[in-house]
Every structure is written in structure tokens, then in C-alpha cells.
Amino acid sequence: MAEQLTYTSAIELDKKDSLAPFRNEFYLNNSNIYLDGNSLGLLSKRAEKTLLTLLESWKTFGIDGWTEGDHPWFYLSESLGEQIAPLVGAKAEEVIVTGSTTTNLHQLVATFYNPSEGRTKILADELNFPSDIYALQSQIKQKGLDFHEHLIEVKSRDGHTLDEKDIIAAMTEDIALILLPSILYRSGQIVDMKRLTQEAHKRNIIIGFDLCHSIGSIPHELSEWGVDFAFWCNYKHLNGGPGAVGGLYVNEKHFGISPGLAGWFSSSKEKQFDMEHILSPAHDAGAFQIGTPHVLSVAPLIGSLELFSEAGIENIRNKSLQLTRFMKDLIEQEIGDAHFIFRNPDEDHRRGGHLYIEHPEAARICKALKDKGVIPDFRSPNGIRLAPVALYNSFEDVWNSVQILKEIMENQTYKNYENKRGVIA
């Protein structure tokens, strides 16, 4: 830490913040400080507006809303894919907004996991979010194989981060497909997607990434890196709303391959209403859709993505790094004796958009924070996640939240709460 941090430091940083005006685009509760945008982003006024616009198109056009109005529903998934493409470093036709995170993972694994003689295993990691592992186990079982034998999970050396050398060493000749998180949901570690993709392709292995904790938080260059596929949710950093429709990316080199799970919207737009019983898949990422778009669940994303286009993902990333650095340094300065352990990589290029700190009393500390108006995220057994989000959190937010945490720790008011998570952490 170069110098003593003060409240004035926070105010000065806010004055220099070019993204500060975007804070006014969101519905903020003045009675709390929201630091859980890596779990569910806040509602923006534009997202609300586009949701109401799509409701109005239903009211006005009825079934003709599929082709009429400002945002025709029939082309909405492709239109939003084009808007998201710059955030993942892809061509417009390589991205589609569709399904849910796990449904899209099932689609992609069903498409690209084709076990053959000698290549039957999927490589993942032991720190990934459970739903990804459940889906991989399910897909292996669908092939008539035992996931205990055919799902390989790379071990973590410290229980919090992954070493790329260990992942590469596990890319053996019996691996048919690799799935990894872009950012680890616990430690916030960014994995080196470019390096891992290059190493996988040297060995003729298909590789994909779960971008749930990175999209809208850091820049990507999926097409340039040659990543085969990726998928994500749109309700965290992209602020698409609870249960928002997800998204997926498929590299154009795979266009023309039949989707593993075909459905009504896998069809080429020109052929879809010919009603033929032989599918003519779309010639782009649209082929990996399954069912009809959830129009009202995708509507808020239209407005939310406008904000990302205006702010710029590089600017968002720069401020995010400043915010997390300021928070980490401030916690160490103000309550360095509180026995918090930071599990994030310290280097900027390896740190995502949230901090992950551990404490034996984490569950009750989170409850105490909430009662004091700071909204954190608890992760069992002893993790506290804090995500100051670039578009709507300020450096003053960070200062105030750390002072509240300091008060809780010094007065030990957390002891008034049970050290046990709630129904939803």
C-alpha cells in the first residue's frame, strides 16, 4: 500500500471516475450498499423501459409481435447476440442469446462430446460451480459411461485457485473435451483462456469455458483465441434480471455441425415455418437454440446492453480493478488484525470482479453486514464475496462498507447471529 487511504481518497477517486454518471441509470436503495452484483445485478432504468416496451408490443400487436414493433421477437435472440459479441470478442453470428446456463451447457456438451476409441474422458476441475459438474456427469451417463471413471477433475493446490500447468498436464490422450470456468466463482481467479486453448488444440481436444463470472466484468477475445465454445448467464454483471435468458458462443469453424439437442428454434429462419420433419439447422450459432425465446425474460437485456456499449468493457474493467484494489487495501489498513484471508490472486491480470475473503465467522459476519445495510454474498463454509460493480458502485460505497465491517469486527456484533447460512447464501 503506497499511502494511507482516507475518506477523502475515496471522494477524489469518485470525482475522477468517468463511469460515475452510469450510477444514475440504476435503481439504488439509498438505505444499503449493494455488493452482490456478481450474483444478481441491479435493475437499470433502461432495462425496465425495454421490458415495458416488449409488454407493449404484446399488447399492441398480439402474435404479430413476432415480426412487428421496435424489437421483433422472431429475431430477438440474434439481435442480442450481435450486441453481446463485442463483450466476448466474437463475431455477431457466433453468439446467440438463448436458454439457461445449464441448458446451454447440456446443448454444447451433447454437440461436442463424442467419445471414441481411446478418447472418452471429459476434463474439468474440482473448483467449478456444482451445476456444471452435474451436467457433465449427466452427459457422460447419457453415453453409457461411468462418470466416476470418465470425468477427470483437476485438483487445486491450495483449495482456491488452479495452476494452468496442472490443467495442461491433465490434457492426456484420452481426453475428448475440456470444460473450465473463465473466473473461479470462489477466489475470483481468471484462468488463462488463451494459453489453455492453445494447449488443448495442440492435442486436438475441444475446449469450452463457463463465462458466468467474467462476462460484463472483463474483456474476452474468444474468436482470436480460437475457443471452441462458451456459455454464460446474463443476470450477474450484465444485469439482465433474475433468471434472465442465458447466452452461448460457438466458433465459426464449427458452423454446419448438427446440434446435439435439436429443437424448433435450431432451424434456419428461412426454413423454420416450412414445417418439415427433417431439421435444416441455422448456419450460425442460432443452430444451438432449442425452444422458443422467452421474450419477456430477455427484454431487460436489451436496455442493459445499451449501457455496456456506451461505457465500454475496457473502461468497466479498469474501474473494477481500481475498486477491488481499493477495497482490499482498505480492509488490510483498517482491520488487518481481524484474521481475514484473501483468496484472490493479487495480480491484476488474474483477478476478476469480486473479492473472496475467508473468516471462521463468515456466515454471521454476512448477517451482521446485511443488518447494517451492506449486501454481501456468503459461500459455505467460510467465504465472504464482495463485488463492487463498476457501473453502479462508487469508491465512497467501498469506504463506507469497510467502515461498517470494521465496526462489526471491533464490537464483535457478529456474535449476535448464528454462524449458519440462510436458505439462500
Residue set of the binding site: 101-102, 129-132, 210, 213, 235, 264, 292
DSSP 19-38: TGGGGGGB---TT-EE-BTT
CB-based contact 176:116 (threshold 8 Å)? yes
Say how far apart CA 327 and CA 332 lie, in whole Å.
9
Task: Give the phi and the psi of residue 385 in degrees, each rounded to 5.
Answer: -105, 130
Say how far apart CA 121 and CA 175 lie, in whole Å.
5
Computed on alpha carbons and rounded to an integer, the radius of gyration of the chain in Å comes to 22
Cα torsion for 100, 105, 111, 114, to the nearest 10°?
A: -160
Annotated binding residues for pyridoxal 5'-phosphate, as ranges? 101-102, 129-132, 210, 213, 235, 264, 292
CB-based contact 283:255 (threshold 8 Å)? yes
Of 334, 335, 324, 401, which is closest to residue 6 (Cα–Cα)? 334
Question: What number of other Cβ atoms are within 10 A of residue 358's Cβ?
Answer: 18
Q: Name the amino acid, one letter, at 137.
A: Q
Beta bridge partners of 96: 248
Q: Name the amino acid, one letter, at 203.
A: R
Say how far apart CA 35 and CA 37 lie, in whole Å.
6
